[in-house]
Structure 1
Amino acid sequence: MTVATVVDLLPTVELAELVERASLQTRVDRKYLLTPGQAGQFLDRLAETAAPRVLCIDRRRDSGYDSLYLDTPDLAGYHLAARGRRRRFKVRRRTYLETGETWLELKTRGPRGATVKQRSLEGSRAFLDDALAAAGLPDLRGVPLVPVLMTSYRRTSLLLPGHGTDTDSRLTMDAGLRWSTPDGRQLELPDRVVVETKSGAQSSAADRLLWRAGCRPARISKFGTGLAALHPTLPANRWHPVLTRHLTPRELS
């Protein structure tokens, strides 16, 4: 059973309801790297047990995402993440290809390792500076933020309705991931699906199903892992298992 086959059979949810029920701007993220076959089996089992609904926009059940990551010229954001600093940040301009919207987004770390995402449609630098200051991060006023990495992929988004003690949560499945740098380097990940659960403090039904199947969260960051793979001289111990297990020379283009 392929991901596309299962997705075509799922009931749908509109974007407004998904955002209302499970926007989860402050959340716990867990990521897993699965082969396409594993992803299809997992989703088939999830459909039997958790009643997921798939996001549908203009009759499409997946969406294209392009992201441009920004950092300081000395890669301050990257180095904070590579060293596992609790106070770290990630800045990107994300374009949703189906709607044409582009948002300026800032990700920081909240209490107990939670991910906090803030975003602005206007995309002003003042928004970033104020949000960084409020998060207790270094003052970057006057420091340029420059493009360092681009990503593109197709995303399938699912709403997982809460049952029992579970609250509503989200699940995304990203396929066809491609990284590129402004100087023209490229890297593809054609044989992996990045599955990400986004929930509150508790693990989701999807997490527990993956754990029972022997799948454990992988330390992958589209920003950090991509930069480390394309710039081998950067410190990358944090992402070494992913780089050695899932990224191979044949995937370089």
Structure 2
Amino acid sequence: MKMLDTSCFRPISLEHMDEVKLMNRTDTKYCATIDQLNELFQKIQPHYYVLTMDGENQLPYETTYFDTPSALMYSNHVRGKKNRYKIRRRTYLSTGIHFIEIKFKNNKGRTIKERIETEAIFKELSPKEQVFLNDKTPFDPIYLQPGLQNRFKRITLVNKNLKERCTIDVNLQFIQHQEKVVLKDLAIIEVKTGDRNTLSEIAIALRNMRIKPSGFSKYAMGRSLVDEKIKSNAIKPKIRNLQKLSRISIFTHQLT
């Protein structure tokens, strides 16, 4: 993967980010190359901090997504259904902390996120996780099963006005059974604000660079790439658009 230069940003600690958790928010996503990302960093540098832990600001994440046997949550997403859910277990590899998380996208375009910390990773949902999901979602957790695993590194930028957060995911890898797909030279930028009226220097800079918003779900995209049995016609145009981006390649590996 190409090198990213984040040295232009002043660091911010995890403790100082408490004001911008944004569990009820508006999300806007963009796709860019690493070269474009480095250019963006230079343009927005005066306005943002970068989350830094133990001197590192490109932090590794691992996620397992859960779905019904018929992949209903995947289907709802690619069909653009309103009031849809996403259920995942996320591990912050830098700290060893695990959460089971629910993301609910309502019919007003807002994302509401709820989560609880879990003690360890299980292949299936633990009793504690099942109680949480049974209480917070319309799905019976007994029938939910792992649908996809992904790994990536995340850069988190925080606007100095503390009203906006931006996550940037790079080195994306999607894994299902013995199949792994790697997206090279791709960055997924997600701008998160609690108020639609919040001024976003990142959004302005991306618009000036002629990078338009582009819906990108790591679960939907990853599953369509690694699962040959799943219907993915609705998402194929997005896959083709990714491949058109400069120097972005999709590599498939068989795990041993």
Tell me which interval the TM-score lies in, with the shorter structure as reference length: 0.7 to 0.9
Q: Residue 73 of structure 1: CA displacement?
A: 1.1
Q: Residue 30 of structure 1: CA displacement?
A: 1.2
Show the counterpart of 1:15: 14
Q: Which amino acid aligns with 1:54?
A: V
Q: Which amino acid aligns with 1:187?
A: V
Matches of 1:54 and 1:249 in 2, distance apart?
28
Matches of 1:36 and 1:109 in 2, distance apart?
28
Deviations 1:108-133 (A, max 9, x none): 1135211111101135211111111x
Matches of 1:62 and 1:44 in 2, distance apart?
17
Q: How many residues align?
A: 237
Deviations 1:87-124 (A, max 9, x none): 21111110000000010001111352111111011352
Q: Residue 238 of structure 1: CA displacement?
A: 4.3
Q: Which amino acid aligns with 1:213?
A: M
Show the counterpart of 1:4: 4
Q: Residue 240 of structure 1: CA displacement?
A: 2.8
Deviations 1:17-55 (A, max 9, x none): 11x22110111111111111000001110114x2x1010
Show the counterpart of 2:121: none
Show the counterpart of 1:197: 191
1:116 to 96, 112, 116: 112
Matches of 1:187 and 1:157 in 2, distance apart?
24
Show the counterpart of 1:177: 172
Q: CA RMSD in A?
A: 2.0
1:127 to 120, 125, 132: 132
For structure 1, the 5+ residue unaligned runs are 133-138
Matches of 2:141 and 2:57 in 1, distance apart?
42
TM-score w.r.t. the length of structure 1 is: 0.87
Confirm whether residue 147 of structure 1 aligns to residue 143 of structure 2. no
Q: Which amino acid aligns with 1:207?
A: A
Q: Which has the higher strand share?
A: 2
Matches of 2:73 and 2:80 in 1, distance apart?
11
1:93 to 65, 72, 89: 89
Matches of 1:241 and 1:160 in 2, distance apart?
33
Show the counterpart of 2:51: 55
2:242 to 240, 243, 246: 246
1:107 to 103, 108, 111: 103
Q: Is the 8 A contact 1:3 1:39 kept in 2?
A: no
Q: Is the 8 A contact 1:72 1:143 kept in 2?
A: no
Q: Residue 141 of structure 1: CA displacement?
A: 2.6
For structure 2, the 5+ residue unaligned runs are 119-127
Matches of 1:246 and 1:234 in 2, distance apart?
20
Q: Is the 8 A contact 1:105 1:117 kept in 2?
A: yes
Show the counterpart of 2:38: 40
Confirm whether residue 78 of structure 1 aligns to residue 74 of structure 2. yes
Q: 1:161 to 1:81 in 2, by over 3 A?
A: same
Q: Is the 8 A contact 2:31 2:187 kept in 1?
A: yes
The SS at the match of 2:4 is helix
Q: Residue 61 of structure 1: CA displacement?
A: 1.3
Show the counterpart of 1:231: 227
Q: 1:184 to 1:13 in 2, by over 3 A?
A: same
The SS at the match of 1:79 is helix
Q: Which amino acid aligns with 1:73?
A: P
Show the counterpart of 2:125: none
Q: 1:103 to 1:209 in 2, by over 3 A?
A: same
Q: Which amino acid aligns with 1:29?
A: D
Q: Residue 142 of structure 1: CA displacement?
A: 5.9
TM-score w.r.t. the length of structure 2 is: 0.86
